[in-house]
Amino acid sequence: MTDTTLDPAIADLVRGAAWVTVCSGAGMSAESNVPTFRDAETGLWERFDPTELATPQAWSRDSAMVWAWYQWRAKLVRSTTPNPGHVALAEWADRRTVMVVTQNVDDLHERAGSAVTAHLHGSLFEPRCSHCDLPYSGIDADPEVATETLRVQPPSCPRCLSEVRPGVVWFGEPLPSHAWERAADAAAGCDLLIVVGTSGIVYPAASLPERALAAGIPVIEINPEPTPLSSLVTHFMQTTAAVGLPALLQEVPPAG
């Protein structure tokens, strides 16, 4: 897709939106070489199903394996850089109100210059005590010291000596309530909602575009593959984040 093929109706929507809310998922970071969740994994972890590891049950069964996996992912993210899709959103915020609501646990939106409204599923870089929730910042949680081994004993909480866990949201766990409230407000108040790079099957995050559509707010989806949402949205752009978002930004005149 190039800017010359952009649907004029999409261009009109983008030009007319003073407040845009963007809901991003793993595909947002795919072109930064961060693996998505449901695509095939490669390398050290190819023997594991990531959706099996991102559960409280996996943590109870083998916390050392889960800790090592998250430290490996944090180190991998540190080695990557934002792609043109991340950069386009940061530049868009110089011209209009842009709120980024992400399911991603990486920090690529922030490193591109966006102020993220909500990290719905937490962060790779905010480990905390599994018992008392005290944030943990010991050197042994620094991703730079992570090694490519299958098991690493998690650090101990300095306050209660329980194991430190990754600061992410696993299946069956509630989303951080402040993040969810900010996300719901951002989706309810915007003029245009853009959903990018998510399979749209994990709730409650997947309900945000559904709610926006029900409220009459136009929704544009960007994804190289159709999802359950694609037939419901106002416009489906079958392309990638690093192509689709810069193409949309071209329609937004600079502020002033």
Alpha-carbon distance of 38 to 44, in angstroms, equals: 16
Record the tokens describing residue 125, joined without a space: 């870089």
Q: 121 an active-site residue?
A: yes
CB of 189 to ligand BJW, least distance (A): 23
Q: Between residues 143 and 204, which has the closer beta carbon with respect to ligand BJW?
A: 204
Give the start-end residues of each E strand in the chain: 19-24, 97-102, 116-119, 128-129, 164-165, 192-196, 219-222, 235-237
Q: Between residues 192 and 223, which has the closer beta carbon with respect to ligand BJW?
A: 223
CB of 36 to ligand BJW, least distance (A): 4
Alpha-carbon distance of 109 to 129, in angstroms, equals: 26
Catalytic residue among 86, 119, 121, 178: 121
Helix axes 207-214, 177-189, angle to 10 degrees: 30
Q: Between residues 25 and 246, which has the closer beta carbon with respect to ligand BJW?
A: 25
Closest CA to 6 of 249, 230, 190, 194: 249
CB-closest chain residue to ligand BJW: 27
CB of 217 to ligand BJW, least distance (A): 20
190 class by beta-carbon count within 10 Å (0-12 exposed, 13-18 middle, 19+ buried) = buried
Q: Between residues 18 and 148, which has the closer beta carbon with respect to ligand BJW?
A: 148
CB of 114 to ligand BJW, least distance (A): 16
Quickly tell me which residue has 């002033």 as its tokens. Answer: 256
At position 94, the amino acid (one-letter code) is D
Which residues of this chain interact with ligand BJW, rule CB under 6 A?
Answer: 25-27, 30-31, 36-38, 54, 103, 105, 121, 168-174, 196-199, 201-204, 222-225, 227, 240-241
Structure letter (DSSP) for residue 141:
G
Q: So which residues are the catalytic ones?
A: 121
